Chain A
Amino acid sequence: MCLSIPSKVTKIDTETNMATVDTMGVSRDAALDLMEDGDVKIGDYVLLHIGFVMNKIDEEDAMISLDTYKEIIEIMEKEESDDNSLSSDLTREDRQKVL
């Protein structure tokens, strides 16, 4: 019910206050009634729910999350390959840096 779809804005019609968005190759229309005027721009990533844009996706925050995941994978892989007795303190520190 509450599931929503990340989409990219491809067109904005200010007269009808509607956006056209691309959802992984599928084009849909979405109402901008829940967004402040001028807040949504072409090229923005937005979250779509039952025919409305409900918010913009913060690209910077998304990138930070994805970078964190890369580091977590590296740390956990390193921990696996290291000698257990030597690795625990170091990795704990590393992890805290990441988190």
Chain B
Amino acid sequence: MEIELKNLYDDFRDADTIKAYAKMIKEDAKKLENPINIMEVCGGHTHTIMKYGIPQLMPENINFIHGPGCPVCIMPKERIDHAYVLSMQKNVILVTLGDMIKVPGSNGSLQDARAKGADVRFVYSPLDCIKIAKENPTKKVIFFAIGFETTTPMTAALINTVIKQDIKNVLLHINHVTVPEVMKELIDSRDIHVDSYNNQIDAFLGPSHVSVISGSKIYEEFPRDYNRPVVVSGFEPVDVMQAISMLIKQFIENRCELEVEYNRLVSYDGNIKAQELIEKYFEKTDLFKWRGLGNIEKSGLKLKSQYAQYDAEVAYKDILPIEEIEDHKLCICGDILRGIASPPECTIFGTACKPTKPIGSCMVSSEGACAAYYKYGNLLKK
């Protein structure tokens, strides 16, 4: 039988397959000596898990910890404030991806900036900046770039095009972050102030599309050095059920390995051309501050110094705020991301902090744990 496009959607959402895996997982979980806490690193997985009611299909001894893999959620107010300030400059068009629209900084969101007259544009693709720049030759087009490894090569491709076509009025504000560094941080916080946040995560469900770009090789150290198995999973509910089943089998069989469930798209090496583009234009920052988690070493990217002429942080250095901003005192997103609290335990969850007016990182985007609980959480009452 030849595969059709429809199969790639429907068959990986098939109810009978999900039920069969649920049954197998329940039987296998009886053989576990201890409960397992599985962290789904990626916000896309959090969304799938909540949308398809996967927690309700799990036995008592399988728990989820919802990870920090939502680039919109983890964007600190300091960076949002940069975008806000840039958008308010004369003759600037600030361009970003739609997900950033309502993320609040200390002065408001980009939506608020637009309401005050700023030219803020939300685009489908970074390459849309080229068209906007050509149509507005007297203005600076600043692309506020966000995302994990999934989205970084697209920003690199934008710079590549800007250079090739010798476009003079495009600048970039880079906020790309990387997954393995935050996974390590969550297992073994090296910051002395958060010394006690260890050992809640027993296993990882590896991200889908970060892995398409980077390859499964980026997780090798987790089973080897941290004794945490990783199964890279696709985003569809059948993918997630199969990956959970694979993780449980590892525990039953006393294995601790890196495995790939999403092998229709993920290879060991990943997309080499995309990685080369990233390496050409970007290098690691010493620190990147994650909303809810604080500074994490080498977890962010910046433009290499030879491309400084395209760097909005260099061009607008004098006006960009540098003050540190504390997370809201009542917000417990850091604890939620570390698996030591769940969204309903937060005193402002669903009251002062809602998707329409988010206070904490996990409520900001639909992929955040709090937003997912707000939308689907009442279904969790067994």
Residues of A within 8 A of B (CB): 1-4, 6-8, 22, 24, 31, 33-36, 45, 47, 49-52, 54-55, 57-59, 61-63, 65-66, 69, 72-73, 75-77, 79-80, 95, 99
Chain B residue with the shortest CB-CB distance to A36: B273
- Per-position contact with A for B205-225: 1 when CB-CB < 8 Å, else 0? 001111011000000000000
Residues of B within 8 A of A49 (CB): 150-151, 154, 209
A58 touches B265 (CB 8 A): yes
Query: Other CB < 8 Å A-B pairs besides A3-B44, A51-B124, A76-B19, 5 of them?
Result: A34-B271, A65-B264, A69-B242, A73-B17, A79-B23
Chain B residue with the shortest CB-CB distance to A51: B125
Q: CA of A14 to CA of B126 in the docked complex: distance in angstroms?
A: 20
- Interface-forming stretch among B1-9, B183-191, B193-201, B298-306? B1-9
- What is the distance, in angstroms, from A66's C-beta to the closest C-beta of chain B? 5
* A6 and B212 contact, Cβ closer than 8 Å, known pairs A1-B99, A31-B157, A66-B11: no
Cβ of B249 within 8 Å of any chain A Cβ, yes or no, is yes
B42 touches A2 (CB 8 A): yes
A69 touches B24 (CB 8 A): no
The residue among B16, B70, B99 with the most chain A CB atoms within 10 A of its own CB is B16
A34 touches B153 (CB 8 A): yes
A50 touches B17 (CB 8 A): no
24 A-B interface contacts by CB (under 8 A): A1-B44, A1-B147, A1-B148, A4-B150, A4-B212, A6-B9, A24-B5, A34-B277, A36-B273, A45-B3, A49-B151, A49-B209, A51-B125, A51-B154, A52-B125, A52-B153, A54-B271, A55-B265, A59-B3, A65-B264, A72-B17, A72-B20, A76-B20, A95-B24
Partner of A50, one of B19, B124, B274: B124
Chain A residue with the shortest CB-CB distance to B158: A33
Residues of B within 8 A of A36 (CB): 273
Summarize B's interface: helix, strand, loop or mixed. Answer: helix
9 closest residue pairs by CB, A with B:
A51-B125, A76-B20, A33-B157, A62-B264, A61-B264, A6-B8, A2-B150, A69-B17, A2-B209
Residues of A within 8 A of B128 (CB): 51
B20 touches A55 (CB 8 A): no
Cβ of B281 within 8 Å of any chain A Cβ, yes or no, is no
Cβ of B263 within 8 Å of any chain A Cβ, yes or no, is yes
Cβ of B181 within 8 Å of any chain A Cβ, yes or no, is no
Residues of B within 8 A of A95 (CB): 24
Residues of B within 8 A of A24 (CB): 5-6, 9
Partner of B235, one of A3, A58, A77, A99: A3
Q: CA of A57 to CA of B20 in the docked complex: distance in angstroms?
A: 25
A50 touches B125 (CB 8 A): yes
- Per-position contact with A for B254-265: 1 when CB-CB < 8 Å, else 0? 000000000111
Q: CA of A54 to CA of B11 in the docked complex: distance in angstroms?
A: 22
The residue among B148, B242, B264 with the most chain A CB atoms within 10 A of its own CB is B264
Residues of A within 8 A of B213 (CB): 54
A2 touches B147 (CB 8 A): yes
A54 touches B209 (CB 8 A): yes
Cβ of B87 within 8 Å of any chain A Cβ, yes or no, is no
Q: CA of A75 to CA of B367 in the docked complex: distance in angstroms?
A: 34
Q: CA of A22 to CA of B8 in the docked complex: distance in angstroms?
A: 13
Chain A residue with the shortest CB-CB distance to B277: A34
* A99 and B150 contact, Cβ closer than 8 Å, known pairs A24-B9, A69-B14: no
